[in-house]
Chain A
Amino acid sequence: MIVETDGMTDTLERARVSGQSRGEVIREICRHLVPFQTGERPITGDTVIAKDLTIDSLAIMDMVMELEDHFDISIPMNVVAEIHTVDQLADTIQKLCARR
């Protein structure tokens, strides 16, 4: 009985981590971007990370490293280079999470 319950929790846990909901992913990205927000403009899916925020390329790479560890995925630097908006970053994270 106990074994069964344990197995159950395990499966649920895995489903929770690998099938990241869009909202969860966006929330996590925003948590890292808020310190770089400029003025009153809210961060949305369309926010162009390098342009609309006061964040330099090194800080973007450092943020990506934090997200990698949070979602237990790796996002290669050449992939990061192609990402411009928050939505694109979320797409990449969801795709890599699903593949895991």
Chain B
Amino acid sequence: MGLFDRHAGLLEAYRDVRTTGYDPFQIRMERVLSPTEAIINGRKMLLVGTNNYFGLTFDPSCMEAAIEAIRAEGTGTTGSRIANGSYSEHVALEQEIAEFYGKKHCMVFTTGYQANLGLISTLAGEGDQLLIDADSHASIYDACKMTQAEVVRFKHNDPSSLEARLRRLGDRPGNRVVVLEGIYSMLGDSAPLREFIDVCKKYGAYVIVDEAHSLGALGDNGRGLCESAGVLDDCHFIVGTFSKTLGAIGGYCVSNDPDFDILRVTVRSYMFTASLPPSIVASVRQALKVVKARPELRTQLWSNVATLYEGLAAKGFKLGPEHGPVVGVHLPDRMTAIGFWRAMLDAGIYVNVAVPPATPNGVSLLRCSVCAVHTKEQLEHMIEVMTGIGRQLGVLDDRTLRVVGGAR
């Protein structure tokens, strides 16, 4: 048997994707010009698939902070914090994030993936029960493979489905640990967090919330869904990433647990990998300041979300269930999604294409992520382009078009 024979199914799907002539998994950005534009295949493209929600990758103050840190402390730490020690910047960043959430403790990881992987697999061990949303991110699923805890999935965003599973556990011993996400990365929908928290309280379950896509976007101070749902005190752990709104790379978790520091000597994905370089830590610290100082970025983001979501909905596209910084456009099947994605690239617009098995319920999607610094013109242009392609590919049915046409 060949080494890749077991991946034959995936290989076939991958071949399908590449028949378009472009490989969506190997797109080369020849030059990135700004948070919203890059040169791909020799031409300027509008970027609407970057998770760069506040557009901070080119924020001059964040860039300066990173450059200064490189000059002062070099390019990398060349080791993990337990072996090579922490730089003052790591400790300062942890204090600032803890303060941002009003929590006592924070631990910074080299990626958000590693934060979920290490934290979840450490908090739930043998004899415990881990309950995860069916649409959880890969990092959460992978954490489940690393623990002896029993893992049970509940229906996506369905507190009654979670409740049924907690109830069935009865009085069996073991901690119940529930993992939720603030905003889900494929369809941009957010969890009914308050209802989930009520269920968790009723059954004495611990709650971990991953705010990867909601940091900055939700809450009066941008702390995420925990803040906007008013349940910051009820979430035992909040996890997040620096790779989206904060425009860099890295992950974190915060908590009030008095024994928090045990994590530093038990979480393997923290202990056995190099810590973040000084430049990244410096730009993240600055980005957090920008998030606090410029709430108008959040307002702009949601106003852009409304423009794109309502614009596409009016043309008859089937979208995710609610407004979110991720706008998922449903397409009937894998090949249509790939063809649509390719046609958009030809028209100068880059979005993400998401097809099974990476998507929930086997759906095929164009995944658009909105940026606070997209202009209204850019988004309106995108809606026009997508409408044209949608008609060509027969994705938009004629009836919708007539209704829209008649309304004009």
Do A and B actually bind? yes
Inter-chain contact A65/B153, CB cutoff 8 Å: yes
Inter-chain contact B361/A62, CB cutoff 8 Å: yes
Inter-chain contact A58/B152, CB cutoff 8 Å: no
Bound CA span A87–B362, Å: 26
> Quick one: CB contact mask for B168-179 with A, threshold 8 Å, 1 for yes?
110000000000
Closest to A58 in B: B357
Inter-chain contact B168/A65, CB cutoff 8 Å: no
Q: How far is the CB of A48 from chain B (nearest CB, A)?
A: 15
User: A9 to chain B: which residues have CB within 8 Å?
Assistant: none
Inter-chain contact B134/A65, CB cutoff 8 Å: yes
Q: Does residue B151 face the partner (Cβ distance < 8 Å to A)?
A: yes
Inter-chain contact B164/A76, CB cutoff 8 Å: no
From residue 72 to 96 of chain A, which have CB atoms closer than 8 A to chain B?
A: 72-78
Bound CA span A100–B153, Å: 19
From residue 136 to 166 of chain B, which have CB atoms closer than 8 A to chain A?
A: 144, 150-155, 161, 164-165
Bound CA span A56–B360, Å: 12
Inter-chain contact B356/A56, CB cutoff 8 Å: yes
Q: How large is the interface on B (under 10, 10 to 19, 20 to 34, 35 or more residues)?
A: 10 to 19
> Quick one: CB contact mask for B343-356 with A, threshold 8 Å, 1 for yes?
00000000000001
Bound CA span A57–B153, Å: 13
Closest to B168 in A: A74
Contact status of A72 and B134, CB under 8 A, knowing A56-B356, A65-B155, A77-B153: no
Bound CA span A18–B169, Å: 16
Bound CA span A62–B134, Å: 8
Contact status of A61 and B153, CB under 8 A, knowing A72-B164, A74-B168: yes
Decide if the interface of chain A is mainly helix, strand, loop or mixed: helix
Inter-chain contact A69/B164, CB cutoff 8 Å: yes
8 Å CB contact of B144 from A62, A77, A100: A77
Q: How far is the CB of A14 from chain B (nearest CB, A)?
A: 15
8 Å CB contact of B356 from A58, A61, A68, A69: A58
8 Å CB contact of A74 from B9, B152, B357, B362: B152
Inter-chain contact B168/A73, CB cutoff 8 Å: yes
Bound CA span A75–B151, Å: 9
From residue 108 to 153 of chain B, which have CB atoms closer than 8 A to chain A?
A: 134, 144, 150-153
Q: Give the A-B contact count at a CB cut-off of 8 A.
A: 42
Bound CA span A73–B153, Å: 12
Q: Does residue A17 face the partner (Cβ distance < 8 Å to B)?
A: no
Q: How far is the CB of A72 from chain B (nearest CB, A)?
A: 7
User: B360 to chain A: which residues have CB within 8 Å?
Assistant: 58
Bound CA span A100–B361, Å: 30
Inter-chain contact B357/A56, CB cutoff 8 Å: yes
Bound CA span A76–B216, Å: 35
> Quick one: CB contact mask for B362-391 with A, threshold 8 Å, 1 for yes?
100000000000000000000000000000
Bound CA span A52–B118, Å: 36
Max chain B C-beta neighbours (<10 A), residue from A56, A58, A59, A72: A58
Inter-chain contact A77/B151, CB cutoff 8 Å: yes
Inter-chain contact A61/B357, CB cutoff 8 Å: no
Closest to B358 in A: A58
Contact status of A59 and B169, CB under 8 A, knowing A65-B134, A74-B152: no
Bound CA span A62–B161, Å: 13
8 Å CB contact of B151 from A56, A62, A69, A78: A78
User: B161 to chain A: which residues have CB within 8 Å?
Assistant: 65, 69
Inter-chain contact A78/B150, CB cutoff 8 Å: yes
Bound CA span A76–B134, Å: 13
Interface residues of A (CB under 8 A from B): 56-59, 61-62, 65, 68-69, 72-78, 100
Q: List 25 A-B residue pairs with CB atoms under 8 Å apart, sorted by A's residue number.
A: A56-B9, A56-B357, A56-B362, A58-B356, A58-B362, A59-B362, A61-B153, A65-B154, A65-B155, A68-B152, A69-B161, A69-B164, A72-B164, A72-B168, A73-B168, A74-B165, A74-B168, A75-B152, A76-B150, A76-B151, A76-B152, A77-B144, A77-B150, A77-B151, A77-B153
Interface residues of B (CB under 8 A from A): 9, 134, 144, 150-155, 161, 164-165, 168-169, 356-357, 360-362
Given A65-B155, A74-B152, A78-B151, 13 further pairs, Cβ under 8 A: A56-B356, A56-B362, A58-B356, A58-B362, A59-B362, A69-B164, A72-B164, A72-B168, A73-B168, A74-B169, A75-B152, A76-B151, A76-B152
